[in-house]
Amino acid sequence: MNRRDFIQKTCFLSTGLYWNALPEALSDSSIKLTILHTNDTHSRIDPFPSHHHKYPNMGGVAKRSSLIEKIRKEEKNVLLLDAGDFFQGTPYFNFFHGEVEIKALSALGYDVVTLGNHDFDAGLSGLIRQLPHANFQIVSANYVFEEQELKQKVKPYVIINKDKLRIGIFGLGVKLEGLVPAKFFANTKYIEPVEIAKELVQELKNKKVDYIICLSHLGLEYEYERICDKQLATLVEGIDLIIGGHTHTFLKEPLVVTHPISGHQTVICQVGFAGIWLGRIDIRFETTRKKRIATSHITVI
């Protein structure tokens, strides 16, 4: 992609959140955190073909890698996150059963991912087989596994230190029954998301984290009664950011949900599917005045 096309295909969307906006220049007491995120990449290693009716030449790991590396050179504190469903969708998965996808996530330097329903499409044994290739952390709080390999690798949450910041990240997945053949998830126990999320938010607060992120594969919203990201933000006080997946929703700008009791604001982002967009959230922490703003950028890859 040449420079002109890159500029034309890049959307800069900003939303002032929480408090009044801070100056662009960081003060000595400020810390900037840049969060890059994807979801539902679905084995899209190569770009869509040039003759594709809707997404010609879009997506692809190579272009995403170049963009991520460019941002990492420009910014000091970068987190790269994924909200699940990195398996299934192209022949790469059919032939290599997830190895290519896991190695790609590792090569791009993802920090934390969660599991989507399609990440069980090779069965638990298939998922376990790919774990040695995963040089990133996996979080999922509401799937309880019996397999020792999954217990060791998949944690309810992690805490990542960036500069002086402590970032708490936990994962939530959609109910597998009805979406995934029972033999593929076997004895995996599903826990309803809301109560476990409340417990984890409190635990992370007790551990003095500065920012709480939920990697959610619940879906943004539904026309029928089913827990989704919007409900989660309303029912669980204290989540700062939900990076969502599952519904393949192209959110051009973040949604901000205000908790009805505490007034806490939760930002919700989701960037479609197939790696067509790369999401970016820039958060500025003013340590002396405890102020922060977030700006959101979406880059079409």
Task: Give pLDDT, residue 290.
Answer: 60
pLDDT at 12: 32
Which pLDDT belongs to residue 5?
38
Note the pLDDT tens digit of each residue in 147-184: 999 999 999 999 999 998 999 999 999 999 999 999 99
Indicate the average pLDDT of the chain. Answer: 90
Answer whether residue 244 shows pLDDT above 90.
yes
Strand (E) or helix (H) holding 99: helix 99-107
User: What pLDDT sits at residue 1?
Assistant: 40
Asked whether residue 284 carries a pLDDT value surpassing 60, the answer given is yes
Distances (CA, A) of 20 to 162, 185, 225, 266, 283: 24, 46, 36, 16, 13
pTM (2 d.p.): 0.90
| Span 190-223, pLDDT tens digits | 999 999 999 999 999 999 999 999 999 999 999 8
Task: Dump strand ranges (E) for 93-248.
Answer: 112-114, 137-139, 143-144, 154-155, 157-162, 165-173, 189-190, 211-217, 241-244
- pLDDT of 119 reads 98
- Residue 159: strand pairing partners: 168
Q: Where are the beta strands (DSSP E) in 174-226?
A: 189-190, 211-217
pLDDT tier at 21, thresholds 50, 70, 90: very low
**Confidence grade of residue 27 (pLDDT, cut at 50, 70, 90):** low
- pLDDT interval class at 97 (50, 70, 90): very high
Q: In which band, very low, low, confident or very high, does the pLDDT at 11 lie, cut at 50, 70 and 90? A: very low
What average pLDDT score do residues 82-86 get? 98
What pLDDT does residue 296 have? 80
User: Do 279 and 36 form a contact (C-beta atoms < 8 A)?
Assistant: yes
What percent of the chain is modeled with pLDDT above 90?
Answer: 83
Higher pLDDT, 165 or 291: 165
Across residues 23-39, what is the average pLDDT?
77
> Is 3-21+35-300 in CATH node 3.40.630.30?
no
Backbone angle region of 295, left / alpha / beta, with phi > 0 → left and psi within -120 to 50 → alpha: beta
| Residue of 203, 116, 134 lying closest to 168 (CA atoms) | 203
* Contacts (Cβ under 8 Å, ≥6 apart) of 90: 42, 43, 44, 45, 46
What mean pLDDT do residues 242-253 have? 96
Instruction: Tell whether the model's pLDDT for residue 127 goes beyond 70.
Output: yes
CB–CB of 169/133 below 8 Å? no
pLDDT over 50 at 3, yes or no:
no
For residue 107, what pLDDT band results from cuts at 50, 70 and 90? very high
- The residue behind tokens 């329903």 is 117
Give the pLDDT confidence score for residue 86 in this predicted structure.
98
Q: What is the mean pLDDT of residues 265-286?
A: 95
pLDDT band at 301 (very low <50, low <70, confident <90, very high): confident
Tell me: pLDDT of 59 over 80: yes
How far is it, in rounded angstroms, from Cα 299 to Cα 280?
A: 8
| Per-residue model confidence (pLDDT) at position 28 | 58
Find the mean pLDDT for residues 2-17.
Answer: 34
